[in-house]
Amino acid sequence: MSIVVRFPPSNVTKQQYDSVRNALTESGDWPPEGCRLHVAFGDQQVIRVSEVWESQEQLEAFGEKPRPRLEEAGIQLSGQPEVLDTHIVETF
């Protein structure tokens, strides 16, 4: 079953977000297997992230890969992500 993951707000800037994403792309860890949708939104000073994953197991398999890059960018999450089971996932 697919899941929705909503990461808590943590005052991540667009520059910090871009540095992490670029590092993951360069290392071959982006896009992660099983991530069906990744959305980054907000203004330049507060980027929020939500994702849709094919399964909890795939999210967990990816889990530790971004951690060192988040630390390098000075990002600390303000709490645990909210994980919700999906009812329907459609793309148009």
Q: Which two three-digit tokens encode residue 90?
A: 């459609």
Give the angle 56-58-59 at the CA atoms, nearest 5°.
65
Q: What is the pTM of this model?
A: 0.91
DSSP 7: P
Distance, CA of 73 to CA of 10 (rounded, Å): 13
Domains and CATH numbers, the chain: 3-85 (3.30.70.100)
Strand ranges inside the chain, DSSP E: 3-6, 35-43, 46-53, 82-85
Tens digit of pLDDT at every position of the chain (92 positions): 899 999 998 889 999 999 999 999 999 999 999 999 999 999 999 999 999 999 999 999 998 899 999 999 999 888 999 999 999 999 89
